[in-house]
Structure 1
Amino acid sequence: MSRPQEPHRPFFPFGNPFRMISPKGSQLSPLLLSLLNKFEGTLAERLRKLMPKDKDDVLTFSWMKLATKSLCETHNDIKTLITDLELPVCDWDEKWIDLYLDVSVKLLDICIAFSSELSRLNQGHLLLQYFLHDLDSNSSEQFVRARSSLDSWRQHIIAKNPRVQNCWPILNSLEESLNLPKVKNSAKGKVLMRAMYGVKVETIFVCRVFAAAFSGSSKNLLNLNVPTTLPWAQVFSDLQSALNGEIRSTFSSGSFTVLKELDAVDVSVKKLEHMIQDGVSATEVEVFKSSVTDLRSRAEKHSRGLDLLANEVDVFFQIVLTGRDALLSNLRAGFPNSDPKLGYNVEGQVVR
């Protein structure tokens, strides 16, 4: 839909999640109340499942995969809720449409950034394979080449990804919009507002955790404050405290990563690094072989985790993209004379 550029506006400016539904406004029917309770109850249970069993579960690729899957389910739930509320696009306020498209394009940007980092980490796995190959060689220059391969791996793995760094301004803009203006006198609008607030909080939280992990720093890892009146508020607060606290503690201890599988690889690499500095003596041969086997096992676990997480991020990307495309399709069908300018091209760049 072609419209002049407007200044930045809040995420969904049709309600304030800090306010309970007031008797002075539109009353919720039993059906609307049931829909809202179901959505928020499911969200609370979903957040509860993300609570790590212990600190060793923060941040494993399996937890990150579970968190991404949770986002996929929550975003699918909001689509279902919109359908159940019987809010067709033709009834949407124009600014709702603009904001939905704006937010979706930001989420696509974040997905692209995370995918690029997972791809970069996967390239690091290939460099590690060169290191392992050099260690298996019987050449007299075996350890010379191994040290060179190891140096290439380490330089690659500690490098910063500018795409991940660019996620912070996007996340900040979404977080700043959490304080929303007063809702219109619409019962369905209030239900959608409350649900969308929950979607946004979970999305910002998970994406901030991922961005901190991928950037190698917790300086931009902020705590979100949510109204205590929301049924999922306590479980979210507990989850946020557990994750953010462990991430900050890990970085403050001097670790270069909070990614558990990558840290395990680094531990194995350091053991071998000490052994190959001056060569391996006859009495160290078996220990050396065992250390190589251990590194190979940890490297494979790291690679499998990367692949599974990358697939889940792609699923989330597709959910956001298909929702966006469906809205654009509905706009074209409902407004045949309109010319939506927002879209996505296959080269991987979001078009605004």
Structure 2
Amino acid sequence: MSRPQDPHRPFLPFGNPFRMLLPKGSYLGPKLLALLNSFEETLAERLKRLKPRDREDVLSLSWMRSALESLCGIHTDIKTLITALELPVCDWDDKWIDVYLDNSLNLLDICIAFTSEISQLNQGRLFLQCALHNLSGDSNKSVRALSSLDGWRQHISSRNPRLENCFSIMDGLSQTLDLPKIKSSAKGKVLMRAIYAVKVVTVYVCSIFTAAFSGSAKKLMDLQVPDTCLWADAFASLQTFVNTEIRCIYSSGRATVLKELEVVDASVKKLYPIVQNEVNPIEAQMLQNLISDLVKTEGKLSQGLDLLSNVVDNFFKIVLTGRDALLGNLRIGGNASDSVITNKAEGQALR
């Protein structure tokens, strides 16, 4: 993964995580190996399906929704794996639990930041709706329409302060991709390798969202995955394709990078000068055509934002229920560290 100031340099400061996770001489029985291979092969297929068929799909709301849907599936897959491992939470190392609780809390904060950004984009649509309402009436309302279009321009160029917090969280998560050394537990080794996979893909997908919402490719991450992972090639192919296109988009100097938002903004730019000037009979039909185009593009933007918002909410619920289930199992299991972990989690929730 690259550091923010040097996005093209691979970031792997902790070396090969599997040198710690699966040292020489380690052995996984046929059942555990089958569980691990099944998880990693499923992950590889999800990543292959996520790779856009066309460059224009990158940073479209529909593709971003697909990326987050894949992430929801991956987080569900690891819950299934944990159940199949039959590894009671009371047997988890305290370090695993601490890392899980910290990371899950960070993911919840990231979801809140993404929801806030989507909400802000939806608020911007109110300016468009006001403009369209005024343009559908008599020409005396054109001044109000222009004011609304100006409001739209200012709104989409403003930055959401919640994203700044999201950036620091992402930087912190990028430093937790190393893995604790597992000495004797074969099941623990499988669990940690699967958790590593989920963390890498989660951090990467979230970095795409932060790059899309922030207006900068500096937060886009590059990760290296050990070749021993069955999903390494699929991940590398996806990452190379998507990162190359995102950096190309930003290098072109576009004001907006979300595809549906870009189409709406282009419609506004065409409409604005005609509304600004007194419309003659020749331009009247052009005005109506542009208004019609804006209605359609605004509708697609609205639908895309609503669907994306639903998936962000779903991901939030998956992370939250997983976190709650872990805390519940710890309380039931009577682990000696339960009270410490529970108090820590409750303290974080009160931030």
Instruction: Give TM-score, length-normalised by structure 1.
Output: 0.90
Task: State the shift of 1:237 in Å.
Answer: 1.0
Per-residue CA shift, 1:302-352, capped at 9, x if unaligned?
A: 00110000000100000000011111111111228853225579xxx9436
Partner of 2:136: 136
Cα separation, 2, equivalents of 1:255 and 1:122: 20
Partner of 2:4: none
Task: State the shift of 1:53 in Å.
Answer: 1.0
The answer on whether the counterparts of 2:21 and 2:179 sit within 8 Å (CA) in structure 1 is no
Work out whether 1:311 is the aligned partner of 2:310: yes
Q: Secondary structure at the match of 1:17?
A: helix
Task: State the shift of 1:269 in Å.
Answer: 0.6
Cα separation, 2, equivalents of 1:253 and 1:128: 26
Partner of 2:343: 341
The answer on whether the counterparts of 2:220 and 2:243 sit within 8 Å (CA) in structure 1 is yes
Aligned residue type for 1:175: S
Cα separation, 2, equivalents of 1:131 and 1:286: 18
Q: Structure 2 stretches of 5 or more lacking a match?
A: 1-13
Aligned residue-pair number: 334
Q: 1:219 to 1:191 in 2, by over 3 A?
A: same
Partner of 2:18: 17
Work out whether 1:284 is the aligned partner of 2:286: no
Q: 1:336 to 1:82 in 2, by over 3 A?
A: closer
Task: State the shift of 1:109 in Å.
Answer: 0.3
Cα separation, 1, equivalents of 2:280 and 2:31: 76
The answer on whether the counterparts of 1:261 and 1:301 sit within 8 Å (CA) in structure 2 is yes
Aligned residue type for 2:142: F
1:319-334 → structure 2 map (5 Å cutoff): 319-334=318-333
Per-residue CA shift, 1:151-184, capped at 9, x if unaligned?
A: 1111111110111121122111111222335332
1:152-191 → structure 2 map (5 Å cutoff): 152-191=151-190
Per-residue CA shift, 1:160-211, capped at 9, x if unaligned?
A: 0111121122111111222335332321111111111110111011000001
The answer on whether the counterparts of 2:131 and 2:149 sit within 8 Å (CA) in structure 1 is yes
Q: Secondary structure at the match of 1:67?
A: helix
The answer on whether the counterparts of 1:183 and 1:189 sit within 8 Å (CA) in structure 2 is yes
Partner of 1:223: 222
Cα separation, 2, equivalents of 1:336 and 1:173: 28
Residue identity over aligned pairs, in percent, reads: 56
Work out whether 1:351 is the aligned partner of 2:322: no
Work out whether 1:240 is the aligned partner of 2:239: yes
Partner of 2:3: none
Partner of 1:7: none
The answer on whether the counterparts of 1:218 and 1:251 sit within 8 Å (CA) in structure 2 is yes
Q: Secondary structure at the match of 2:343?
A: coil
Aligned residue type for 2:127: L
The answer on whether the counterparts of 2:21 and 2:189 sit within 8 Å (CA) in structure 1 is no
Counting helix residues as a fraction of each chain, which structure ranks higher?
A: 2
The answer on whether the counterparts of 1:132 and 1:296 sit within 8 Å (CA) in structure 2 is yes
1:206-221 → structure 2 map (5 Å cutoff): 206-221=205-220
Which deviates the most, 176-185 or 218-227?
Answer: 176-185
The answer on whether the counterparts of 1:174 and 1:204 sit within 8 Å (CA) in structure 2 is yes
Aligned residue type for 1:169: S
Q: Structure 1 stretches of 5 or more lacking a match?
A: 1-12
Partner of 2:251: 252
Partner of 1:34: 34
The answer on whether the counterparts of 1:109 and 1:350 sit within 8 Å (CA) in structure 2 is no
The answer on whether the counterparts of 2:21 and 2:182 sit within 8 Å (CA) in structure 1 is no
Cα separation, 2, equivalents of 1:200 and 1:344: 23
Q: 1:34 to 1:216 in 2, by over 3 A?
A: same
Partner of 2:112: 112
Q: 1:18 to 1:287 in 2, by over 3 A?
A: farther
Work out whether 1:204 is the aligned partner of 2:203: yes
Cα separation, 2, equivalents of 1:318 and 1:263: 30
Per-residue CA shift, 1:206-244, capped at 9, x if unaligned?
A: 000001101111112121111122211111111111111
Task: State the shift of 1:19 in Å.
Answer: 6.2
